[in-house]
Amino acid sequence: MPDPRRALDAMVAAIDDERLGAHGIHVLIGDEGVEHRWAPDEPADVYSASKGVSVIAAGIAIDEGVLSIDTRAVDVLPQNDIGSGVEQVTLRDLLTMTSGIDFEWFAGDPTPGVDLASAMLRTPSRGPGRVFQYSDASTYVAMRMLASRVGDVHEWLGPRLFEPLGIPHPTWRRCPRGHVLGGSGLELRTSELARVGRLLRDGGRIGERRLVDAAWVAAMHDDGFDTGAPAPWSRYGRGCWSGPGSGWRLDGLYGQYVLVVPARDAVVTITAYEQERDHRLVEIAAEAIETV
């Protein structure tokens, strides 16, 4: 098993040498965790790493019988006007970015119309499960599906996820209608995101308490879709990407990462503001975990 301190030291040296804009890094191997900071550990937007938390939320809902992976969007979000083929789009299609709906929207974009979910569901599908298109809107609609059954997703997740992880009342940006964005906008400290990482590495369990089914966590990376793009974007699962190396990752803009490496019993969490070479951060982490 790699030594976490040696792995961390290798990562810090490489990040400093390449002058990358990291804020903090946490390395957990086995039960030993170590960290290094370049900036105070304050809550910050983890961008698309939020998608992983949304997928965990969906898994908890499925465990409780609130939804199923095959629940159709239109069954819980009735629409007066839906696009052709959208009647077949399921929760799974939305979480895997394979709804086939040509609707690219990200959290910094203007919201089209009065309801983002309705705008997406009015757009025709090219065939659910056949076409990959990455968009914050897909995760947003998935969380709207959950909200239709449980009310406010953020409040519902409190006792089920955030409180057991020791993350009191995290901020999660909302749309004009008051719903969490889902695909982005969750603000966490490095140490808090690292607890999400440990939950994923440990198959949905924190200590003796299970928060989400182990099979669901495994499906986050096993239930993948080959995107046709080159690495590191070649395979997407449910809220996460494959690689680098033998691991899989939550991946947020400007260098927000949770890299899970099961073969090494390791998880590396990085927060950063690196505008140009953000992916180099997770490459450095993977290299250190695989070689140290």
pTM above threshold 0.95: yes
Phi, psi of 256 (to 5 degrees): -100, 115
Taking a C-beta distance cutoff of 8 angstroms, is the pair 257, 286 a contact? no
Nearest to 178 by CA among 159, 155, 149, 158: 155
Cis amide prior to 110 (ω within 30 degrees): no
Nearest to 51 by CA among 265, 236, 202: 236
Per-residue pLDDT tens listing for the chain (292 residues): 779 999 999 999 999 999 999 999 999 999 999 999 999 999 999 999 999 999 999 999 999 999 999 999 999 999 889 999 999 999 999 999 999 999 999 998 998 888 999 999 999 999 999 999 999 999 999 999 999 999 999 999 999 999 999 998 999 999 999 999 999 999 999 999 999 999 999 999 999 999 999 999 999 999 889 999 999 999 999 999 999 999 999 999 999 999 999 999 999 999 999 999 999 999 999 999 998 8
| Cα 200 from chain centre | 11
What is each CA distance from 47 to 51, 57, 66, 129, 255, in whole angstroms? 8, 16, 26, 25, 9
Beta bridge partners of 36: 25
Structural domains present in the chain: 1-42+189-292 (3.40.710.10), 50-187 (3.40.710.10)
Alpha-carbon distance of 189 to 199, in angstroms, equals 16
